[in-house]
Amino acid sequence: MLNDDNSVANSRANVVTVDFGQPDTKSTPVAGRYDSMSLLKMDEVAGLLNITTARAYALCRLRILPGVVSLGRQKRVSRAALEQFIADGGRELPRG
């Protein structure tokens, strides 16, 4: 339970004071902090590579696409890593 003076009351302890400090208003806006870390959905990756979404997922499974991030069952690809991958000419598919 949070009291008016930012102290937390606990049923076993008397009072614990928590100091959260002052908010940092000079920091970079949230959007600016994550611009270099933008993640693309698989349909966006497929569009950039001019392939089907199923093929983009297959390239993830084969570990050919760089910068893949798994979010549960969803996959995302780092925009910067994908752009570098394209600039470097991609990678050959494994034979099999």
User: CA–CA separation, 78 vs 66, rounded Å?
Assistant: 8
User: CA–CA separation, 83 vs 90, rounded Å?
Assistant: 10
67-95 per-position pLDDT tens digit: 999 989 899 999 999 999 999 998 877 77
Residue 11, pLDDT score: 47
Is the distance from CB of 46 to CB of 57 less than 8 angstroms? no
Q: How many residues does the chain have?
A: 96
The number of beta carbons lying within 10 Å of the beta carbon of residue 96 is: 4
Residue 10, pLDDT score: 46
10-60 per-position pLDDT tens digit: 445 455 555 556 555 555 454 444 555 799 999 999 999 999 999 999 999
So where are the chain's domains?
Answer: 38-90
CA 10 to chain centre: 36
